[in-house]
Amino acid sequence: MGSALPLGSLPAAELFYWLGVATLTWLSLKAACRLLSGARVFVLGAGVEVGRFGRWAVVTGATDGIGKAYAKELAKHGMSIVLISRSQEKLDQVAKEIKQFQVETKTITVDFGEGAEIYKIIEAGLAGLEIGVLVNNVGISYNYPEYFLDVPDLDNLINKMLNINIMSVCKMTRMILPAMVERSKGIILNVSSASALYPVPLLTLYSATKTFVDFFSQALQAEYKSKGIIVQSVLPFFVATKLSKIRKPTLDKPSPETYVKAALNTVGLQTQTNGYLPHAILGWITTSLLPVSLVIKQSMKMNQGLRARHLKKLKEKGD
């Protein structure tokens, strides 16, 4: 019997055949692992019981959308809630809604776009509280997709978006994490965005800030996991909120309540999560099956369409 031919001596057609088999096998195994992991998290699994990490939960950007939904869902788990946002009227309304769960509420009124001075106010408001969960949710995006240099009032938006989307996450974590480490337990949930999974043209600054949140969260989890701390990066696709300008929930664009209920069940199971099964499937497709260049191209095309429709509406109003 003859010995097997070395790889370098195989005919080109046969070489490409075996490379194809190896690639297909690898992709199939990778897909199977992702599917099994998804089933474990979204079908079979349940996250940690958040209430055992401390009496209070702190939620930034708590008066609308995902932030409000986190506040209510955590209250259902018996946690008292600190609501932080810029509108006292809206804070009072959410606090009133949460009282049905028979938990305490506390409100702190600040505008995260104003910079470092607000954190003295927040720190004073949180003094003495045993904080088990921090939800860094506050964030802003563009009013509509736009080329970077054409964004209205660009210099102001840069400062505001960096303060709200990045500075708030760092400062709130710096404020609350030490006590969690001292007690050897705590949960930090940082709401990023699916736009952090790949660059999104015409939402360039927003996408970049959310990538910071994702990387910051994953690295922080690696640093403090051994201290009993859970840090999770939450990367939703579209959710029916004021920020996304989607009014009617659908299967792939859920209500904030549906999304957060699912996302909270992933805490302790995934460091980086899309939070909701249909979003996890979208995340798998866009990061594992499709080339990044194609995803960027399609994002560009979609946002150019949204931009054109927005500018057309503005022109019609002007006329």
Residues designated catalytic: 206
Count other C-beta atoms under 10 Å from residue 210's C-beta: 26
Closest CA to 311 of 151, 200, 156, 158: 151
Cβ(240)–Cβ(247) below 8 Å: yes
CA atoms within 13 A on the CB side of 55: 8
Closest CA to 168 of 224, 219, 110, 207: 110
Q: How far is Cα 283 from Cα 289, in angstroms, rounded to an integer? A: 10
SS (H, E, C) the chain: CCCCCCHHHCCHHHHHHHHHHHHHHHHHHHHHHHHHHHHHHHHHCCCCCHHHHCCEEEEECCCCHHHHHHHHHHHHCCCEEEEEECCHHHHHHHHHHHHHHCCCEEEEECCHHHCCCHHHHHHHHHCCCCEEEEEECCCCCCCCCCCHHHCCCHHHHHHHHHHHHHHHHHHHHHHHHHHHHHHCCEEEEEECCHHHCCCCCCCHHHHHHHHHHHHHHHHHHHHHHHHCEEEEEECCCCCCCCCCCCCCCCCCCCCHHHHHHHHHCCCCCCCEECCCHHHHHHHHHHHHHCCHHHHHHHHHHHHHHHHHHHHHHHHHHHC
